Every structure is written in C-alpha cells, then in structure tokens.
Amino acid sequence: VESRQPEAVRAALCGCAVDLLRTAVEHCRAAGVSQAELEAAMEERAGQAAVGREERQRELGRLRQLLEQSDNEQRRARCGEAVAMLHEAIRTSSEPPPRFEELVNELIVHQVL
C-alpha cells in the first residue's frame, strides 16, 4: 500500500477481511492513495465476490458509502494511528497498546452516531 501502486492497493483491499476493510481504506488514504484507485479496488472486490449480481451491487454500494464516510481528516488520522499500532503489534507478536482499544472504540462510536 505504501508504494501506492494500483495493483498492490487492489490486491491488498481485495484480500482484506471485511471487518478490517474500513481501516485498510483509511490506511490507504493516509498513504496517499487516490480516491479513483480506491473506488477501482472496491469495484474489483465487489466483482470477485462469490455472490449474485444483486449482492455484488449491494456490496459495492456499501463499499462506496464507506469511502464517502471516511472523508473526515481527524477520523482518518485516528484510523491511521490504530492501523500503525496494530501493524506494530503484529510485527512484534505482542498485544496492541491500551490506546489502540480507545481509538477503535472512538471510531466505532463515531460510526454508529
């Protein structure tokens, strides 16, 4: 993702678990990936889904909505911080710091509201 190569971004987002997709998109944005590249990756992801046409359209709509909702700069910064903490925890095989839980909870609350 950091390389901002369209193929790498598409591969990363297409292979990303659904529950981490929002965070992955935020990480891509923080790395400077363009909106057009993100939308292309979301369309490819929706196309690869092993579901019917209607379900693909719904997923694509949800993914586009996700992209639109994540325009808030402050929220994007928090997501980037949480991603960095999680990445470091995975890299070092340790637990994320307590701040990680706080950030995730803030992001969830903001999403619900």
pTM attached to this predicted model: 0.44
Q: How many separate domains does the chain show? A: 1
* Residue 107 to residues 41, 43, 81, 95, Cα–Cα distance (Å): 23, 25, 11, 19
Angle (CA) 23-29-31 rounded to 5° is 105
Q: By residue range, what is the domain housing residue 62?
A: 6-112
Within a domain: residue 1?
no
pLDDT tens for residues 87-104?
A: 888 888 888 888 888 888
Within a domain: residue 74?
yes
pLDDT tens for residues 36-54?
A: 888 888 888 777 765 556 7
Within a domain: residue 64?
yes
Within a domain: residue 46?
yes
